[in-house]
Amino acid sequence: MNDKLDQRIQLVASASFGKIVDDWRRRQSDLPSRSEAIRRLVHLGLQHDEDHPMRMITAIIRPHRYEAVREALMTLGVSGVTATQVQGFGRQRGQTEFYRGAEYKVAEIPKIRVDVAVASSMVESVVDAIQKAAGSGKIGDGKIFVSGLTEVVRIRTGERDQTALD
């Protein structure tokens, strides 16, 4: 990062963004200016994408929406999906069921956990597809989590990273 600093890039940002950058800059010991902090943050973001070219997308969805999600992912060309039956609660805080006239409180609700490993370039389209296929607009539709993958290895061949996903 010892390049000559001779290029100007205009950045228009909100006051709250400036405060976040300034707060981060003050926690660093070697950043004298806001512009240097922004340069460092951009560099760190680009480095992160280079170091983590793949993402793991985990979606917690309603069980009856799984087939629609699976079809949507296959349409995008996703080559592999792992689905697991799980139980949990969020805002729903469980549900009340009746059995033979008696009321029972069920604390955890059955859900399906869908895990998909994809290239970073596919993240937005995969997230959108899951959201459209799994969403009903009601509480309990679920959540989607996106995290970085540092390495993927195909056990059978030893292929690594992007080639192991195909």
Three-state secondary structure string covering 126-154: HHHHHHHHHCCCCCCCEEEEEEEECCCEC
3-state secondary structure of 64: helix
Question: Containing domain of residue 36, as a range?
Answer: 15-51
Same domain, 28 and 80: no
Same domain, 41 and 121: no
Residue type, 135: G
- State pLDDT tens for residues 96-132: 667 788 877 777 889 999 999 998 889 999 999 999 9
| Enclosing H/E stretch for 59 | strand 54-61
Statement: the pTM of the whole predicted model exceeds 0.85: no
Same domain, 159 and 79: yes
